[in-house]
Amino acid sequence: MATVLALSAHGAPPGGAEAAQSAARQELVEVLRVKPDTEHGAQLFATCAGCHGSQGSGMPSGWVPDIAGQHPHVIAKQLVDYRHGQRWDDRMEQVAGGRHLLKTTQDIGDVVAYVGALMPAPATSVGDGQWTEQGAAVYERLCRSCHGTSAEGSNVRSIPRLAGQHYEYLLRQLHDSIEGRRPSMAGKHRPLAHLGMQELVGLADYLSRLSPPASQRDERTARAVAP
């Protein structure tokens, strides 16, 4: 059964960080169990489109990510994290927290399925290319083992696709992770704190220039045209 959660300030229920983490894990399990209704998801996404765009392509400024075709499990986790104070953004906390849009686990499942079926646009927001070789080396050393050969991520493991994401957004998330503004980020990201500015800029630039593997694009096409 879909649940409705009463959330306190900053998206976290009473009881502290451990209670918030436990509640987030439980709700994510419930979200991933629902049978999604993509037509309802499309209706819900009309509100999201005000920031993310009608095709989910976001904004190159770095404040709104490209979410089209992102792995559904990843999108679900991020929305649940916003609901429980595990990720912070005033706009997203209001939307995901039920004040404007996603009041139930069914709502989350529906919009997640719709967004996951959208076709990602070609990468258009990249850096100046000066440090991409350093970025590629950092990716091979620190990121490839989880995010994949082409930064394709994994739906089953809830690891986001980073390939083709907006450069400015990627760079901002790297800094947010280092500076503790992403409390849900795993400890595996701690080595980022030891990178220099050129390496961080190069990593974001390198990732922004990658494209999802052809097999993943084909999967998105199949989802988009499925009855």
Do 110 and 136 reside in the same domain of the chain? no
Report CA Rg, the chain: 17
Can you read off the two tokens belonging to residue 99?
Answer: 């004040």
Do 97 and 140 reside in the same domain of the chain? no
Strand partners, 59: 64
221 within a domain of the structure (yes/no): no
Do 106 and 145 reside in the same domain of the chain? no
Give Cβ neighbours of residue 190 (< 8 Å, ≥ 6 apart): none
Measured over the CA atoms of residue 44, residue 50, residue 55 and residue 60, the dihedral's sign is: negative
The answer to whether the CB of 96 falls within 8 A of the CB of 83 is yes
Do 18 and 102 reside in the same domain of the chain? yes
Helix, coil or strand: residue 37: coil
pLDDT tens column, 6-24: 343 344 444 578 888 899 9
pLDDT tens column, 132-148: 999 999 999 999 999 99
Residue 105 CA: distances (Å) to CA of 9, 42, 55, 170: 20, 16, 23, 28
124 within a domain of the structure (yes/no): no
Strand partners, 154: 159
Do 52 and 75 reside in the same domain of the chain? yes
224 within a domain of the structure (yes/no): no
Do 105 and 141 reside in the same domain of the chain? no
Using CB atoms within 10 Å of the CB of residue 103, give its burial: 0 to 12 exposed, 13 to 18 middle, 19+ buried.
Answer: middle
Q: What's the pLDDT score for residue 18? A: 85
123 within a domain of the structure (yes/no): no
Rounded CA separation 177/161 (Å) = 17
Q: At residue 197, what is the residue type?
A: M
Residue indicated by tokens 């704190």: 193
Domain count, the chain: 2
Do 108 and 136 reside in the same domain of the chain? no
Whichever domain contains 156, its CATH number is: 1.10.760.10
From first to last of its 227 residues, what are the pLDDT tens digits of the chain?
A: 344 443 433 444 445 788 888 999 999 999 999 999 999 999 999 999 999 999 999 998 989 999 999 999 999 999 999 998 888 888 999 888 887 788 899 999 999 999 999 998 777 799 999 999 999 999 999 999 999 999 999 999 999 999 999 999 999 999 999 988 887 776 889 999 999 999 999 999 999 999 876 655 545 544 543 43
Measured over the CA atoms of residue 130, residue 188, residue 86 and residue 43, the dihedral's sign is: positive
Range of the domain at 65: 9-117
Do 147 and 77 reside in the same domain of the chain? no
